[in-house]
């Protein structure tokens, strides 16, 4: 697929500020200042187009005693310099050399950031399931962590809402409520509530807290009278002008602009970093979201994306072109690892390990990761524990996402019900794993998994894809980098994305249904690239791996048995195409929903069987531990 086939949104204003026209560029440097690690990625234009060259990483330095993110950026870039011999940093403590000349520097430098807690917002709307929900989606879409959603009818007493607002210390507030021309008293009540609570920003007493108002337009003057003085008020178009329409783009844009103007300029070292780059610093999740959107558009399929970070888990769904992002602020693999433990419980973590582990040891090990979040597992045992936590963080993240990815209230479809979703699920979400064609993962743990099959199985166990699903992974964690790059130079971003970033892990064929031991789940006939036909039978509880390389696409006939459904109904045959990847094609006969055996020994035996079948971990080492 060429970049011309994909619709890009270019920020022309930012593009006009670049040091050099994009056509004349040869070197690009992009960083992501993450909550744990600052990741530098270096790109170069080659004969075949733009390519990823090398990475450099260093701990983020947002914290004391450094309190200057540019130190971490320089350390990460220095690593790139050491690996390439290409000088990019000014020698006397300056920033990035721009543009490239005399064999030094780069033509473009851009960055995303989620350090220092990212963008933390409070959202308020009149009706919990209407304007408050839309405002929540707008804030999340802008890359924010939503600390709380206050609504007139959220069931909390006024005094407890006031207490909550006073305790939150957000970076920004988004206020919505009412359809245009409708009643104004409720949204004004909310504004009075916010004003009287007098929220303090976490960025200090001199910081004027920004509020974006995206509610009923005829209430604007009253809102202005109330909120203009104590806050930095920005008024934009109503995000629910009428009940049937949700227009979150103006609010999302305002949030992004205020993020740059207020939040970034108060974070340690960002003023310096902002001068280094000609492109606005983008919140990491916004960059990540752009990349997931790009995948969905490129392949024309419903897509579920995930950024499994150290502090947060971001999930993106693009279903029939509707983009929704959720962020689970306290589900992550380092800072938030113990919150995953708290939310899911130790048993749910340990159920994914085939090893005999002491519960106390696991708990202490997770606590040690929490307090020293930049460390990485060096033993197989510790890696298996982290992989177990990752499954639970993703599972909980998806549960959370389903509460955001909901229909605008007032509309209903019956297809989800027909697909076997419970009536509660149908009301709450439109995410149906049978309709998801692509799952894409990024984030340190997934991108750095030593074997690609590890990320494939982690994503599969957590999300439980149904039918035929293609799985992708960010090769070395550069989706956010390419997301921000795509705002000024989409052609280069797509080149790198397609060739170097997007790893096709393979496809998972997984029917829905529950079976019994020894029962057949499905039979497949697959036309292999060599010309022969592969026939495989999958029994209940089995997982098989078939070799089919990246970009190899083949026809497959899938015949589920009578208790299993591949999307066309129980026992109905499906003929489709399946794409390979670095892992291949996985035939998953473990059923959906995936239930692990209750009995510990049996469960450990099963896990080991799956790990062996997929070649998940080094067999010798696994054998030694067991």
Partner 1 sequence: MTLIRSARETHAYSPGLKVKRADKIRRIRRLPILGKVLVKEGDRVDFSTIVAETMIPGEPNIIKVAAELDILEMDINDYMRMVVGDKVKKGDVIAEYNAFFGLFKKHINSPVNGIIESISPISGQVIIREEPVPLSMNAYIPGRIVQLLENEGTIIETNAAFIQGIFGIGGEAHGELRVATEDPHEILTHKLIEEDDEGKVVVGGSLVTKEAVDRALEVGVIGIVTGGITDIILEEILGYELGVAITGQEEINLTLIITEGFGDIAMNPRTLEIFKEFEGSIACINGATQIRAGVIRPEVIIPHEKFALEEVGDELSDGMTQGTSIRIIRQPYFGYLGRVVGLPVELQTVETESKVRVVEVELEDGRRVIVSRANVEIIEV
User: Site residues for partner 1, window 544-583 (CB under 8 A)?
Assistant: none
- With b for 16 or more beta-carbon neighbours within 10 A and e for fewer, the 375-413 pattern comes to eeeeebbbbbbbbbbbbbbbbbbbebbbebbbeeeeeee
Give the number of residues in contact with partner 1, rule: CB under 8 A.
77
Of 16 and 375, which CB lies nearer to partner 1 in the complex structure?
Answer: 375
Which of positions 82-111 make contact with partner 1 (CB under 8 A)?
Answer: 82-86
Q: Which of 16, 101, 153, 158: binder of partner 1 (CB under 8 A)? A: 158
Cα–Cα distance measured from residue 106 to residue 100, given in angstroms and rounded to the nearest whole number: 4
- The reply to whether 376 sits near partner 1 by the rule CB under 8 A is yes
Of 197 and 479, which CB lies nearer to partner 1 in the complex structure?
Answer: 197
Of 238 and 339, which CB lies nearer to partner 1 in the complex structure?
Answer: 339
- The reply to whether 382 sits near partner 1 by the rule CB under 8 A is yes
| Residue 127, token pair as written in the block | 């009706």
Q: How far is CA 125 from the centre of its chain?
A: 25
- The reply to whether 126 sits near partner 1 by the rule CB under 8 A is no
Cα–Cα distance measured from residue 575 to residue 527, given in angstroms and rounded to the nearest whole number: 11
Of 81 and 498, which CB lies nearer to partner 1 in the complex structure?
Answer: 81
Which of positions 67-86 make contact with partner 1 (CB under 8 A)?
Answer: 67, 71, 75, 78-79, 82-86
* Through-space distance between the first and last CA atoms of the chain, rounded to whole angstroms: 46
Which of positions 444-463 make contact with partner 1 (CB under 8 A)?
Answer: 448, 450-451
Which of positions 252-281 make contact with partner 1 (CB under 8 A)?
Answer: 268
Which of positions 181-240 make contact with partner 1 (CB under 8 A)?
Answer: 184-186, 188-189, 192-193, 196-198, 200, 202, 205, 222
Minimum CB separation of residue 519 from partner 1 in Å reads 36
Of 13 and 64, which CB lies nearer to partner 1 in the complex structure?
Answer: 64
Q: Which of 209, 366, 396, 439: binder of partner 1 (CB under 8 A)? A: 366
- The reply to whether 379 sits near partner 1 by the rule CB under 8 A is yes
Cα–Cα distance measured from residue 396 to residue 402, given in angstroms and rounded to the nearest whole number: 10
Minimum CB separation of residue 286 from partner 1 in Å reads 18
Secondary structure of 169-227 as H, E, C letters: CCCEEEECCCCCCCCCHHHHHHHHHHHHHCCCCCCCCCCCCEEEECCCHHHHHHHHHHH
Cα–Cα distance measured from residue 396 to residue 90, given in angstroms and rounded to the nearest whole number: 44
Of 322 and 342, which CB lies nearer to partner 1 in the complex structure?
Answer: 342
Cα–Cα distance measured from residue 560 to residue 520, given in angstroms and rounded to the nearest whole number: 8
Contact 119, 171 (CB under 8 A): yes
Of 192 and 229, which CB lies nearer to partner 1 in the complex structure?
Answer: 192
Angle subtended by helix axes 452-463 and 380-404, to nearest 10: 40
- The reply to whether 615 sits near partner 1 by the rule CB under 8 A is no
Which of positions 390-419 make contact with partner 1 (CB under 8 A)?
Answer: none
- The reply to whether 66 sits near partner 1 by the rule CB under 8 A is yes
Q: Which of 313, 330, 447, 460: binder of partner 1 (CB under 8 A)? A: 330
Minimum CB separation of residue 501 from partner 1 in Å reads 19
- The reply to whether 480 sits near partner 1 by the rule CB under 8 A is no
Of 17 and 367, which CB lies nearer to partner 1 in the complex structure?
Answer: 367
| Residue 87, token pair as written in the block | 């000088």
- The reply to whether 626 sits near partner 1 by the rule CB under 8 A is no
With 0-12 CB in 10 A as exposed, 13-18 as middle and 19+ as buried, what is 1?
Answer: exposed
Q: Which of 7, 65, 411, 595: binder of partner 1 (CB under 8 A)? A: 65
DSSP state of 513: B
With 0-12 CB in 10 A as exposed, 13-18 as middle and 19+ as buried, what is 371?
Answer: exposed
């Amino acid at each position: 697929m060429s970049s011309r086939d994909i619709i890009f949104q270019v920020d022309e204003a930012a593009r006009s500020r670049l040091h050099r026209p994009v056509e004349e560029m040869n070197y690009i440097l992009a960083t992501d200042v993450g909550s744990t690690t600052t990741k530098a990625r270096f790109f170069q234009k080659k004969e075949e187009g733009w390519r990823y060259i090398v990475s450099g990483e260093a701990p983020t330095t947002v914290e004391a005693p450094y309190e200057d993110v540019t130190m971490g950026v320089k350390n990460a870039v220095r690593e790139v310099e050491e690996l390439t011999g290409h000088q990019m940093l000014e020698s006397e403590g300056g920033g990035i050399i721009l543009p490239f000349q005399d064999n030094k520097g780069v033509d473009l430098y851009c960055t995303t950031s989620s350090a220092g807690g990212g963008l933390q917002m409070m959202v308020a709307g009149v009706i919990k399931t209407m304007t408050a929900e839309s405002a929540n989606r707008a804030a999340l879409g802008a890359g924010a962590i939503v600390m709380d959603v206050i609504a007139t009818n959220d069931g909390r007493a006024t005094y407890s809402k006031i207490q909550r607002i006073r305790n939150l210390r957000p970076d920004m507030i988004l206020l919505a409520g009412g359809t245009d021309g409708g009643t104004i008293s409720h949204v004004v009540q909310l504004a009075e509530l916010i004003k009287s609570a007098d929220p303090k920003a976490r960025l200090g007493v001199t910081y004027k807290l920004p509020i974006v108002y995206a509610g009923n337009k005829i209430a604007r003057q009253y809102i202005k009278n109330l909120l203009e003085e104590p806050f930095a008020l920005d008024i934009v178009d109503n995000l629910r002008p009428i009940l049937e329409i949700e227009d979150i783009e103006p609010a999302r844009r305002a949030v992004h602009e205020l993020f740059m103007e207020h939040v970034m300029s108060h974070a340690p070292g960002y003023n310096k970093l902002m001068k280094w780059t000609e492109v606005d610093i983008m919140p990491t999740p916004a960059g990540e979201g752009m990349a997931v959107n790009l995948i969905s558009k490129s392949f024309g399929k419903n897509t579920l994306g995930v950024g499994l970070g150290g502090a947060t888990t971001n999930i993106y769904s693009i279903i029939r072109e509707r983009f929704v992002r959720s962020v689970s602020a306290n589900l992550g693999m380092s800072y938030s690892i113990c919150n995953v433990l708290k939310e899911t419980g130790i048993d749910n973590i340990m159920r994914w390990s085939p090893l005999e582990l002491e519960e106390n040891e696991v708990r202490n090990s997770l606590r040690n990761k929490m307090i020293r979040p930049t460390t990485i597992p060096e033993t197989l045992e510790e890696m298996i524990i982290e992989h177990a936590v990752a499954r639970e963080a993703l599972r909980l993240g998806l549960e959370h996402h389903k509460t955001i990815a909901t229909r605008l209230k007032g509309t209903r479809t019956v297809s989800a019900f027909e697909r076997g979703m419970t009536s509660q699920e149908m009301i709450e979400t439109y995410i149906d794993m049978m309709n998801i064609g692509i799952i894409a993962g990024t984030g340190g743990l997934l991108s750095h998994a030593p074997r690609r099959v590890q990320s494939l199985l982690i994503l599969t166990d957590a999300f439980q894809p149904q039918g035929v699903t293609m799985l992708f992974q960010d090769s070395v964690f550069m989706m956010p980098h390419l997301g921000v790059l795509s705002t000024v130079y989409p052609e280069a971003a797509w080149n790198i994305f397609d060739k170097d970033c997007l790893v096709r892990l393979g496809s998972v064929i997984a029917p829905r249904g529950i079976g019994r031991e020894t029962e057949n789940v499905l039979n497949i006939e697959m036309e292999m690239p060599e010309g022969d036909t592969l026939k495989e039978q999958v029994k209940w509880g089995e997982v098989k791996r078939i070799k089919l390389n990246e970009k190899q696409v083949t026809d497959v006939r899938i015949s589920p048995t009578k208790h299993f459904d591949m999307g066309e109904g129980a026992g109905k045959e499906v003929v489709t195409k399946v794409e390979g990847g670095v892992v291949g094609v996985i035939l998953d006969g473990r059923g959906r929903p995936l239930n692990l055996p209750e009995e510990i020994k049996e469960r450990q035996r099963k896990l080991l069987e799956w790990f062996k079948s997929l070649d998940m971990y080094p067999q010798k080492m696994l054998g030694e531990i067991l």
